[in-house]
Structure 1
Amino acid sequence: MKGPVFMYYRLTNFYQNHRQYIKNFDFDQFLGDRVGSATLRTNCDPLAYSSDGKVIYPCGLIANSMFNDTASNLTSVDATGTYEMTTKGIAWPTDKQKYGPTKYQISEIVPPPNWALRYPNGQYTEEFPPPDLSTQDRFMVWMHVAALPDFRKIWARNDDQDLPAGRWRVSIDMNFDTLQYGGTKWLVLSTTTALGGRNPYLGIAFMSIGALCIVLGILFTLRHLIKPRKLGDESYLSWNQPGGGLPSNSRALALQSYCQAGYKPIENKDLQLDLTPLNREFVVYQNESTPPTTLSIVTQLNLCEALPIPDEKDNTDICTKGALICRKTVYAKKLKDDKETEFVAIVQNIAVDVEETNIMYSKLKPEFKPIDAEADATKRTFNKHDQSASITLECDESQSRSDSIKAGEKVPDHKDDKNGDDKKKEEESKGMSGMGIFFTIVLVLAAVYFIGGAFYNFKVYNARGRDLIPHLGKFYFF
């Protein structure tokens, strides 16, 4: 086995992920500080004090349940020789900063219950003093609790020598009882290679996720082939939907009554109008050029439903959401580099589709008036042809325009002149291509693989450094 060689102990059915177990330690005590009684009981009960009132050091459930089997170095059976293992480097360098020699007097502390057999009469003495936790690398490793009940923790390592092939003997003192909770314990030798090692759990998990992604990819592909949808189509945006994309019960008003089919402008007469073609947005431009500046009055209107205006209260360049008629006064100036600077000077809400109006907003109130018979071009052919209607929009200048809003200046991007075909191609090119979606999925799966694998190796195997890389080590079980 090529070096470096790592020795692990593996425990099964041992749950370190219980909340009470995880939080049952005192950080300040591990640093070596004396801890107050209330704090110690809060953090370490029921293993804060012994029955005779002495402080348990180190306190808590995690420290008390530390794996206490011992394993010797490997001794060759076929030949004379020993393969030396060391605890140097099995703990993280940052762990050294979390532990220190205790400031308690020996007479004030006792070992945890499961440590008592290591000390005469279960007490610390001058000959058998309390451990200096800053030098106990295996204790630091144990304090990193595992997320799953089947986990491995490093015991020793050899970074300099290869392990020759052959039969090797290791002597183990069996102190850690796994029968009481129905678990098992293993000794594991591991090394790292460029091809990785045996890790069936991660392999099964990643293959399952990969298979699920392939199935979803096939389903989405079939759906796209059967019912394709243009990528980047802005018509699917909520503010481009009728009523601004809101549910029908959340809109300001429903379709205006006069835009419904069969509308009767005069109640006592059987005269019906079909104004449904008006249910779309119209834009009217009035331009006045005084070089180098062009004044444009842009009027947007939909006589049936509110204009598709996004709900952006801080944007002063657009009308209020719910507007039926919106008028803007825009000044455009051509610069030396052929770019244009636009300045929206005034934004007016001519009519707003709301239940209640105030002095700033007016509700659209159409009036239907018959015209003179001489001016009605359809009157003379009424019996032979369908009757049509002439709609004239007149602005009532007597109404207050106090809703004018001074807008801020904005500089639009430079726009090249394009014909209709170029614009259509540009719209179709928006959005992510199929190849882009494929590589995005691959990138996401790779990220899930490496991040998930690193987290698993960290929690289960207490790995660090390059050992965090999934499938980097090859394991042999004895």
Structure 2
Amino acid sequence: MKKHRFSSIDNTAFKQQHLPAFWIYYSAKRILCYFFAIGIFCITMGIILLSASNSITEIEINYTKNCANCATFRENANNFKDECSCSIPFYLPQAIQGKVYMYYKLYGFYQNLYQYVKSRSNNQLLGMDIKNVDGCTPFTYSNDGLPYAPCGAIANSMFNDTIILSYNLNSSTHVQVPMLRSGIAWWTDKYVMFQNPPLSNLTAAFNGTAKPPSWHRPIYQMDEEMPENNGFLNEDFIVWMRIAAFPTFKKLYRLLNRTGYFSEGLPPGNYNFIINYNFPVTMFDGEKSVILTNLTWSGGKSTFLGIAYMVTGAITWLVTFCIIGIHLRNRRKKPLLSDQ
């Protein structure tokens, strides 16, 4: 008689899958404790996040309508050298303590369109080949045949309003609030994703290129006061090139230089925004705002995350009570015993 081909397998616990195993038994009591603890954690985190958000002092000034005359002028202007500025006074009812951040906010500007996002040259932005405009359609070459630097739709549409904040000490004395233009970009962006050409003379390095058609000045003259803040390392430019996911977004514009009257932050009182209006928004029915705020450990002023935690905790507790009800109902049901 022929021997079975599997008869040679050792009759061991391992090969016969008879090893001891641990079976996790989730009792109703244990599950209810888990759900109840998760609910407590979520609601507690929600309360903490909402408290942190409410402790932030923030003021937003929408200057689209306040600068309506400048908006009309900018839409009809043919020469970018023509400038229009407007002044917006406002009152700060309470001090903004600590580090103060100035943001600009755009409404209705879609940066997440596929063709818009792809319209850039990373090789050019790394300073490897500033005349490389591959992928920058439709902003690749000027009418003179010179490559744009920087090229692409993102760079061409860069936000270029100039915002100056002044503080009114009294009716006749106005002090310009000192603001920092450096330190607003991500470290990885400035030192990894963007680099200037190797030449120390940026004017010579960008020779043979043209500025984007919507720009007022070339990339190597973006900041006349800080030479190191020119070229592709200009932090306003770097901040703009980080794409926003939603049509309404804000981006960091300036940081408060905490010196003199402003060593503790922005004191309460009368202020004034002086805005050089350059960035057009009426063509796409958009709006512009400027925001002054401070931050906490949880970030900026936002109630979304706190409310999300609160809702999650409430739903978890609701499920917990439903499980308790089902468990108690099933415990009351006893099996029928036949008479013996």
Secondary structure of 2:167's counterpart equals: strand
Instruction: State whether residues 178 and 256 of structure 2, in contact with CA within 8 Å, keep that contact through their aligned partners in structure 1.
Output: yes
Displacement of 1:51 in angstroms is 3.6
- CA distance in 2 between partners of 1:67 and 1:55 (Å): 21
Instruction: State whether residues 111 and 124 of structure 1, in contact with CA within 8 Å, keep that contact through their aligned partners in structure 2.
Output: no
Quote the residue 1:94 is aligned against: 188
The change in CA–CA distance for 1:23 and 1:70 in structure 2 (over 3 A counts) is same
Identify the match of residue 148 of structure 1 among 246, 249, 256: 246
Instruction: State whether residues 86 and 157 of structure 1, in contact with CA within 8 Å, keep that contact through their aligned partners in structure 2.
Output: yes
Structure whose CA Rg is larger: 1
Encode CA deviations 1:63-99: one digit per residue, 9 max, x unaligned: 1111111111423263443321111211122222232
- CA distance in 1 between partners of 2:101 and 2:190 (Å): 21
Identify the match of residue 60 of structure 1 among 152, 155, 158: 152
Displacement of 1:148 in angstroms is 1.6
Identify the match of residue 29 of structure 1 among 112, 124, 143: 124
Displacement of 1:54 in angstroms is 1.6
The change in CA–CA distance for 1:60 and 1:207 in structure 2 (over 3 A counts) is farther
**TM-score normalised to structure 1 length:** 0.41
- CA distance in 1 between partners of 2:141 and 2:238 (Å): 22
Identity fraction in percent: 36
Quote the residue 2:99 is aligned against: 4
Instruction: State whether residues 25 and 61 of structure 1, in contact with CA within 8 Å, keep that contact through their aligned partners in structure 2.
Output: yes
The change in CA–CA distance for 1:110 and 1:227 in structure 2 (over 3 A counts) is farther
Instruction: State whether residues 130 and 149 of structure 2, in contact with CA within 8 Å, keep that contact through their aligned partners in structure 1.
Output: no
Q: Are residues 1:111 and 2:205 paired?
A: no
Write the letter of the residue equivalent to 1:182. Answer: D
Secondary structure of 1:110's counterpart equals: coil
Quote the residue 2:302 is aligned against: 199
Encode CA deviations 1:38-75: one digit per residue, 9 max, x unaligned: xx33x211222234322111011211111111111423
| Equivalent residues, number | 218
- CA distance in 1 between partners of 2:309 and 2:284 (Å): 31
Write the letter of the residue equivalent to 1:114. Answer: S
Displacement of 1:174 in angstroms is 1.0
Secondary structure of 2:320's counterpart equals: helix
Identify the match of residue 83 of structure 1 among 177, 188, 196: 177
Instruction: State whether residues 17 and 147 of structure 1, in contact with CA within 8 Å, keep that contact through their aligned partners in structure 2.
Output: yes
Identify the match of residue 329 of structure 2 among 226, 230, 233: 226
Displacement of 1:22 in angstroms is 2.2
Displacement of 1:209 in angstroms is 3.7
Identify the match of residue 137 of structure 1 among 201, 222, 235: 235
Displacement of 1:220 in angstroms is 3.6
Encode CA deviations 1:146-180: one digit per residue, 9 max, x unaligned: 12222111111125322111001121111111111
Write the letter of the residue equivalent to 1:188. Answer: I
Encode CA deviations 1:189-244: one digit per residue, 9 max, x unaligned: 0113479763244444444444443433333443343347xxxxxxxxxxxxxxxx
- CA distance in 2 between partners of 1:89 and 1:53 (Å): 36
Question: Comparing both chains, which one has the higher relative contact order based on Cα–Cα distances under 8 Å and sequence gaps of 6 or more?
Answer: 2
- Which residues of 2 match residues 406-421 of structure 1 at below 5 A? none
Aligned Cα root-mean-square deviation (Å): 3.1
**TM-score normalised to structure 2 length:** 0.56
The change in CA–CA distance for 1:216 and 1:113 in structure 2 (over 3 A counts) is farther
Write the letter of the residue equivalent to 2:102. Answer: M
The change in CA–CA distance for 1:2 and 1:174 in structure 2 (over 3 A counts) is same
- CA distance in 1 between partners of 2:276 and 2:166 (Å): 14
Instruction: State whether residues 109 and 124 of structure 1, in contact with CA within 8 Å, keep that contact through their aligned partners in structure 2.
Output: no
Instruction: State whether residues 73 and 83 of structure 1, in contact with CA within 8 Å, keep that contact through their aligned partners in structure 2.
Output: yes
Write the letter of the residue equivalent to 1:3. Answer: G
Instruction: State whether residues 25 and 44 of structure 1, in contact with CA within 8 Å, keep that contact through their aligned partners in structure 2.
Output: yes
Identify the match of residue 49 of structure 1 among 125, 129, 141: 141
- Which residues of 2 match residues 372-387 of structure 1 at below 5 A? none
Write the letter of the residue equivalent to 2:101. Answer: F
Instruction: State whether residues 30 and 58 of structure 1, in contact with CA within 8 Å, keep that contact through their aligned partners in structure 2.
Output: yes
Displacement of 1:145 in angstroms is 1.2
- CA distance in 1 between partners of 2:245 and 2:232 (Å): 25
Instruction: State whether residues 107 and 286 of structure 2, in contact with CA within 8 Å, keep that contact through their aligned partners in structure 1.
Output: yes
Write the letter of the residue equivalent to 1:136. Answer: N
The change in CA–CA distance for 1:151 and 1:34 in structure 2 (over 3 A counts) is same
Please, which runs of 5 or more residues in structure 1 have no aligned partner? 229-478
Instruction: State whether residues 295 and 301 of structure 2, in contact with CA within 8 Å, keep that contact through their aligned partners in structure 1.
Output: no
- Which residues of 2 match residues 234-249 of structure 1 at below 5 A? none
Encode CA deviations 1:397-426: one digit per residue, 9 max, x unaligned: xxxxxxxxxxxxxxxxxxxxxxxxxxxxxx
Please, which runs of 5 or more residues in structure 2 have no aligned partner? 1-95, 332-340
- Which residues of 2 match residues 274-293 of structure 1 at below 5 A? none
Identify the match of residue 293 of structure 2 among 171, 190, 201: 190
The change in CA–CA distance for 1:76 and 1:184 in structure 2 (over 3 A counts) is same
Encode CA deviations 1:285-317: one digit per residue, 9 max, x unaligned: xxxxxxxxxxxxxxxxxxxxxxxxxxxxxxxxx
- CA distance in 1 between partners of 2:196 and 2:303 (Å): 41
Instruction: State whether residues 76 and 167 of structure 1, in contact with CA within 8 Å, keep that contact through their aligned partners in structure 2.
Output: yes
Write the letter of the residue equivalent to 1:70. Answer: T
Encode CA deviations 1:94-149: one digit per residue, 9 max, x unaligned: 2222322247864521111211x446xxx999xx99x8335411111111111222
Secondary structure of 1:223's counterpart equals: helix
